Chain A
């Protein structure tokens, strides 16, 4: 038991010291310390952005950022989670918009206040170049902003750090939705398939399959042809 105790390391959860095993993520360390998490926890897999965390290490002036579910504790870590961060979000009807720079600037006029300081990029736990996508936005390049911001999990750390009071992630999702709806090339085969289904072209096939006995279905299934993998 004592030996195990020696392996524990000190961390400071909102200023209070706890001894935790060094292999844990920040999230599991908080639970180990006895916290039942409600805020600051979501998917626990690095996809939802609920557990944005900021921390310092004793003696190190640098401010660090991470996701609590993806970051392993270090000795003398001072932790604070950001349970909620208020951010400006425009309300819009995507079907009534044009995918132009003007739409962009009128929906989020504060976009043009960006100083290009890069505090957002430093804070991003996804290692996105937030400053670069904001720069693309200021140029009115919706496609580039959509592409560069694609891996955003909307955790809000960028907005929390921004001296120009931007809500980068909300601007970015507008870019992606404008791109997806208006600028991405259309899929002809999808359009044709919708017309075929609406004309009832597959109804008979489906009804026929639904009538089959289990043995007949197994037979159909086992003998169905399988499209080769790419490259084969």
Chain B
């Protein structure tokens, strides 16, 4: 194949020259002190002028990226006078978002006796869950335990995680694996049924379960198929993102206003409980970074929940995945799964030398890549000026045998082959890419918030991962907390009696913006990024 220009091939030759020697060399792990220094100097979260405090609302003062603050402080789509007397439809539990968390919540809410509507921005399943490649963590091998998993999560998160949420995450994990298998998910297994499990960045035990490198897609299509089989109890409405929560006169959640994305008309869906499962905000492109996220990832849930009075947390922390594609330009920022490193591929610089332990926690690894390119000038620069370091995938074939990449990373092979690059023979050029929103809406372990009837699940939430999420804990999060929120919402909806629905909080929000003199010029949630050419 000839996907790489001649300049880059020169550097590839150096990578090839050192490869056999490097097979037996492991770069040492970074000591804690150096981790802190690298993060402070090179991680995007630590660049003060790219962050600011939000000026209104219950979490006034919370720091977040400028792009996030602008939409959090945005103006609502609908007026406080929007007519709520005649809801378009009613249900027990309304789930906003059709990704992994939303689908899991729908199944559990329905099983617990609720009538359910799922409303989603694009198609059901168009979500970051679908794109997750590497795997899902669960401590189910004899040398592992939920406690060891707990320690990895907390340490990876810089000891700022909410302990109760971490406990829920790790204790539910093996049950979620069992649940998914019962639904018919195909995990990678040995012939005797033993799960194939590997390391991810920051794990101290091999507990990464996978389904080739379609782990998230396999989860998403399986739970989606199951939701579709329960059409009597779960209605799915596509191309209809929510734009505002509705409360009743006692401050309980009373549903949401949704927008028909194609006709641009708004409608009120009345509900006794709402599960907010809208995912993250990678398409806000914080600090101009490319993203691995799907098209609809615009942090809608943070905006809506905050306007209704829910607390935010940890939003000063975004995850930049160390290995986004840096070449070719057409797939810039798209994910190269961490499983590639889990299988033995080392990150190396333009001289073909290692410069970091391959599986540091993601923020540390990403910061080390940026340092290698910026401070040490050891990165490879493409013709469009994009820096990157090599991820030496051909090592995998040498370590584990020929055919390993094709069997374990078929999506990656396909992705690069389309552009003339054979990753079984040639390394990939990678650079950090915006991957995950560590922070979001605060929640309890049962998914509840301080707003009665509002439940939270998945990437829209904040606290589970502290200030850095480990690989394999987001597929776990969407299923663990999706299930918890769905169950809790059904239980809550059974007993609640709704009062008069209203949008008083929207009026209060507008008033607060006016009083504070805040005008970011944005109507939010923004729903989709604008990629049309600006002429």
Is B285 on the interface with A (CB-CB < 8 A)? no
Name the residue in B154, B185, B292, B419 with the highest tally of chain A Cβ atoms < 10 Å from its Cβ. B154
Q: Quick one: closest B residue to A170, CB to CB? A: B225
Known: A45-B294, A151-B410. A184 touches B174 (CB 8 A): no
CB < 8 Å neighbour of A185 from B130, B131, B152, B192:
B192
The 11 sampled A-B contact pairs (Cβ below 8 Å) are A37-B295, A42-B295, A47-B214, A50-B122, A70-B418, A150-B214, A173-B221, A181-B182, A186-B193, A189-B141, A189-B195
Is B415 on the interface with A (CB-CB < 8 A)? yes
Q: Quick one: closest A residue to B325, CB to CB? A: A45
Q: Quick one: closest B residue to A146, CB to CB? A: B186
How many positions in chain A have a CB within 8 Å of any CB in the partner chain?
75
Given the complex of chains A and B, what is the CA–CA distance between A7 and B445 in angstroms?
56
Set of chain A residues within 8 Å of B225, measured between Cβ atoms = 173, 177
A residues sitting closer than 8 Å to B (CB atoms) are: 23-25, 28, 31-39, 41-48, 50, 70-72, 89, 91-95, 126-127, 146, 150-151, 153-154, 173, 176-181, 184-190, 192-194, 197, 202, 205-206, 208-210, 214, 217-218, 220-222, 224-227, 229-231
Q: Would you call A45 and B334 a contact (CB within 8 A)?
A: yes
Inter-chain pairs besides A181-B182, A190-B177, A231-B399, 8 sampled, C-beta below 8 Å: A43-B295, A46-B411, A46-B415, A70-B330, A154-B221, A180-B185, A185-B189, A224-B151
Count of A-B residue pairs with CB < 8 Å: 228
Given the complex of chains A and B, what is the CA–CA distance between A47 and B215 in angstroms?
11
Which B121-157 residues have a C-beta within 8 angstroms of A? Answer: 122-123, 125-128, 130-131, 139-143, 145-148, 150-152, 154-155
Q: Quick one: closest A residue to B283, CB to CB? A: A44
Q: Quick one: closest A residue to B232, CB to CB? A: A91
Q: Would you call B181 and A189 a contact (CB within 8 A)?
A: no
Set of chain B residues within 8 Å of A194, measured between Cβ atoms = 174-175, 178
- B129 → chain A closest CB, angstroms: 10
Set of chain A residues within 8 Å of B4, measured between Cβ atoms = none
Interface size class of B (residues with CB under 8 A): 35 or more
Main secondary structure of the interface of A (DSSP, over half): loop
Set of chain A residues within 8 Å of B222, measured between Cβ atoms = 173, 176-177, 180
Set of chain A residues within 8 Å of B231, measured between Cβ atoms = 91
Known: A45-B131, A47-B217, A188-B193. A151 touches B212 (CB 8 A): yes
Q: Would you call B171 and A197 a contact (CB within 8 A)?
A: yes
Q: Quick one: closest B residue to A178, CB to CB? A: B184
Which B209-232 residues have a C-beta within 8 angstroms of A? Answer: 211-212, 214, 216-218, 221-222, 225-226, 228-229, 231
Q: Would you call B414 and A206 a contact (CB within 8 A)?
A: no
Set of chain A residues within 8 Å of B261, measured between Cβ atoms = 38
Name the residue in A24, A28, A180 with the highest tally of chain B Cβ atoms < 10 Å from its Cβ. A180
- A17 → chain B closest CB, angstroms: 16
- B466 → chain A closest CB, angstroms: 11
- B330 → chain A closest CB, angstroms: 5
Known: A92-B229, A151-B411, A173-B221. A25 touches B330 (CB 8 A): yes
Which of B199-207, B268-276, B486-494 interfaces with chain A? B199-207
Set of chain B residues within 8 Å of A192, measured between Cβ atoms = 142
Q: Would you call B195 and A43 a contact (CB within 8 A)?
A: no
Q: Would you call B32 and A218 a contact (CB within 8 A)?
A: yes
Q: Would you call B184 and A177 a contact (CB within 8 A)?
A: yes
CB < 8 Å neighbour of B530 from A36, A45, A186, A197:
A36
